Chains A and B, each alone.
Chain A
Amino acid sequence: MEAFLFWLFSIVGVACGAMVIWNRNPMGSAVYLVTTMLCLAGLYALLSGAFVAALQVLIYAGAVMVLILFVIMMLNVRQEVVPREGSLPAWIIAGVLGLIVVVNLAVLFRHGDSPTVAEDFGSIEGVGAQLFATYVLPFELISVLLLIAVIGAVVLAKRRAP
């Protein structure tokens, strides 16, 4: 059952990820990206990260992608005006970089056993304890970063046109 779900989520996720790039319609791409996010959430859930899975759906599929869809709706980009991007050198560089990442990941996964996890791993309590004890400094730094982003957005939005 788990293996079946793993292959289902991975195949659908990767296929939809590819369709994000191939689809010429911005709205279609966005919907494919949402599907990829949902598949990622499914994979997290299989890796006993239930809380992370729920947050993945909540934040990426439910908030970030909604805003992207919003922008697409507001701008109403038409298919014809989207420029065809990418040249041959760019394709080659991207391809080589991608291949290196894939090979490295493959090497990485061939080493060592799969780790065993603690009882409360991935639950709300487990993630919370990790977040506010072990990783409290990065956590606080990220919140400061987000605060800066919010203030920056407000400043930019409030600036009057001369």
Chain B
Amino acid sequence: MFVDVVIILVKAGLVLFALLNLGGFLTWAERKQSAVMQDRIGPNRANIGKFTLLGLLHPVADGIKMITKEDFIPEGAHRALHTLAPAAALFPALVIFAVIPFGPTVHLFGRDIPLQVANLNVGIVYIFAVSSLAVYGTMLAGWASNNNYSLLGGLRASSQMISYELSIGLSILGILLIYESAQLDVIVHKQGELLWGFLPQWGILFQPLAFFLFVGAALAENKRVPFDLPEGESEIIGYFVEYSSMKFGMFFLAEFVEMVIVSGLTVTLFFGGWQFPYLQATGFVWPFGWGTLALPHWLVVLIQVGTFGLKVLVGCWLLLVIRWSLPRFRYDQIMHLGWKVWFELALVNLLITAVVVLLVT
């Protein structure tokens, strides 16, 4: 009993640690990536003595700066809700990762430890439920600041988030139909099976349209370019205009943690999660009867956890490239796209998937 609690706490701590640090790391990666794409050098000034570590000290410096800055609450603002809003924005981002498996089951000291914080029967529905709470941070921030611009920004942002929530849900449902489970570890296990003896059954193979719909809708939910009107850093005033110091930092961090989550979910649902092609629990089993390569248990686990991490990082990198490649939509275009194109495509995709699954089984 006691050991179980400790194991769960350690797993939760590890996931939170990785998530927050990856979020901080991404603020650096975003700047470096934009610098590379715009032929600049990017952050390179923060240093300890002679060491700049390619600008990697910038996230640290940013953190120190945000924590030590003056925390300002505007006059007439609702103090409690103004303080609650950043927490409400960060909370869903931090708890969603609990159901994402980041590795196989580990056999350690006679115990079976699944590398997943919470293996819920309702895994995917839990993700929908928690991500539907993300809109509160935006709404409360817009309303509680006692500023008309941030109120309008909050309304804009929340209507955008609500519009794309539906498409996210509908695009994932196809995956649920194919793998016949809402449990994410079952979905990952089934993606390790082979189609026609050589093709890993990754989600993107069966649901390519759903993949694009999911990533697009997740970008809109995450409020990043090309859907970044709610924030619109330079020209439109957004919902968190009245926030300063670490409260602003929390909105900022939430955005980057959400990127990790979007990447992690995409990998889990569409790219086989921690599965490495042809790597079974005992080692490599090559297709076409080319023999096997037995590996010790710890090495298999290491490869699979590493594979998951690498896939997530590549996903984050792709999100960064999208961010710095595309121009921004106009607001009415976003709403039109969400309700009249994305939503319908997701419905059609779900219908076709359901019919095909019914015919095949």
Interface residues of A (CB under 8 A from B): 25, 27-28, 31, 34, 50-51, 53-55, 57-58, 61-63, 66, 69-70, 72-74, 76, 123-124
Contacts and interface: CB of A to CB of B under 8 A. Distances in A.
A70 B125 contact: no
A154 B149 CA distance: 30
Given A31-B140, A73-B155, A123 B125 contact: no
- Closest 9 pairs between A and B when the two form their complex, measured CB to CB: A62-B132, A57-B129, A58-B129, A54-B125, A54-B129, A123-B121, A54-B122, A50-B122, A51-B122
A63 B142 contact: no
B293 interface: no
Given A27-B144, A70-B139, A124 B133 contact: no
A58 B159 CA distance: 16
Nearest to B139: A69
A70 B155 contact: yes
B128, B129, B159, B162 pick with most chain A CB within 10 angstroms: B129
A74 B130 contact: no
A55 B169 CA distance: 13
B125 to A, nearest CB: 4
Interface of B: 78, 80-81, 84, 120-122, 125-126, 128-130, 132-133, 135-136, 139-140, 142-144, 151, 154-155, 158-159, 162, 165, 182
Contacts of B144: 27
User: Which residue of A28, A31, A54, A63 has the most chain B CB atoms within 10 A of its CB atom?
Assistant: A54
B142 A55 contact: no
A55 B125 contact: yes
21 contacts: A25-B78, A27-B140, A54-B128, A54-B129, A55-B125, A55-B129, A57-B129, A58-B125, A58-B132, A61-B132, A62-B133, A66-B132, A66-B136, A69-B136, A70-B158, A70-B159, A73-B142, A76-B151, A124-B121, A124-B122, A124-B182
A124 B125 contact: yes
A54 B158 CA distance: 21
B84 A31 contact: yes
B126 A54 contact: yes
Contacts of B122: 50-51, 53-54, 123-124
A37 to B, nearest CB: 10
B206 to A, nearest CB: 20
A30 to B, nearest CB: 10
B178 to A, nearest CB: 15
Contacts of B132: 57-58, 61-63, 66
Q: Which of A66, A76, A123 has the most CB of B within 10 A?
A: A66
Contacts of A55: 125, 129
Contacts of A34: 136
Nearest to A73: B143
A61 B122 CA distance: 17
Contact of B139 (A58, A61, A66): A66
B151 A73 contact: yes
Nearest to A74: B155
Given A54-B129, A70-B158, 10 more contacts: A31-B84, A50-B121, A53-B122, A57-B129, A58-B129, A66-B139, A70-B155, A76-B151, A124-B121, A124-B125
B133 A61 contact: yes
B162 A51 contact: no
A132 B112 CA distance: 36
A78 to B, nearest CB: 11
A157 B273 CA distance: 45
Given A31-B81, A58-B128, A66 B143 contact: no
A74 B142 CA distance: 12
Nearest to A69: B139
B64 to A, nearest CB: 32
B84 A50 contact: no
A28 B136 CA distance: 13
A70 B152 CA distance: 11
Contacts of B140: 27, 31
Contacts of A72: 143
Contacts of B129: 54-55, 57-58, 61-62
Nearest to B180: A125
A61 B143 CA distance: 18
B143 A27 contact: yes
A31 B158 CA distance: 16
Most buried by A among B122, B136, B142, B165: B122
A57 B130 contact: yes
Nearest to A63: B132
Nearest to B5: A1
Nearest to A120: B121
